[in-house]
Amino acid sequence: MIPMIPPILDFATGRLAGAELVEKSTTLADLQGLFVDPHAEAALPSETRLYRVAMLPGHGGEGDLNMGVTYLEAGRVGQEFFMTRGHLHARAEQAEYYFGLCGQGVLLLQDMAGVCRLERVFAGSVHHIPGHVAHRLINTGETQLSALAVWPAVAGHDYGALGARGFDLRVLAGEDGTPRIVTSAGQAT
């Protein structure tokens, strides 16, 4: 019996290879109204790709796990850094692990009471996302941000759970380009 060559994740580049991947791209049009500045949003091509997720094909079922890599482009909508839509799990008690691979960013975590936490994302950063905590990646760097994720196959996505309020924090670029964290009402934190 010869040992099989499994799929390979290149930690240096974030590239996933060696398996039939399931891929999903998200454009600015898909996230209409998510960014704070509608004029800046309208000024960008709606087909601008913000991020892509590549995952191993899942077989699903109770107890199974999925894995995938998110590739979030560098860029801004006005002063606001490119970010993922963010979500809570449909089975809200299900947790997730993220591992930063390439680039620089932050992971925004928000619990059901609205309490927010930010964690720096970089090559090798380890992020435990407990159940009942909404999560969003934000690329504050000048290169693509990629992160490995492992999550329960039954978790699912609930994009509406935060309601009209959405996440309570936004990450904008200050005048010198460095990240500045404000509440969704625009106040500095």
- State the residues that interact with a second copy by CB under 8 A: 1-11, 16, 18-19, 56, 59, 61-65, 67, 91, 93-97, 99, 106, 116-120, 123-128, 130-131, 148, 150-153, 155, 169, 181, 189
> Cβ atoms within 10 A of the Cβ of 99, count?
18
DSSP β-ladder status, 76-77 and 105-111: unpaired
In angstroms, give the least distance from the CB of 150 to a second copy: 4
Shortest separation between residue 48's beta carbon and a second copy, angstroms: 25
CB 42 within 8 A of CB 64: no
Q: Please, which residue, 40 or 153, has the CB nearer to a second copy?
A: 153
Taking every pair of Cα atoms in the chain, the longest distance, rounded to a whole number of angstroms, is 63
| Pick 134 or 155: Cβ nearer a second copy | 155
Cβ–Cβ < 8 Å for 124, 100: yes
Nearer to a second copy, 38 or 177 (CB): 177
Residues in the chain: 189
Give me the least distance between CB of 111 and a second copy, in Å please. 14
Nearest CB to a second copy, comparing residues 78 and 97: 97
DSSP calls for 159-178: SSTTGGG--SEEEEE-TTS-
Nearer to a second copy, 20 or 62 (CB): 62
Kindly state the smallest distance separating residue 82's Cβ from a second copy, in Å.
17
* Integer angstrom CA distances of residue 77 from 84, 140, 168: 13, 12, 18
Q: How far is the CB of 45 from a second copy (least distance, A)?
A: 30
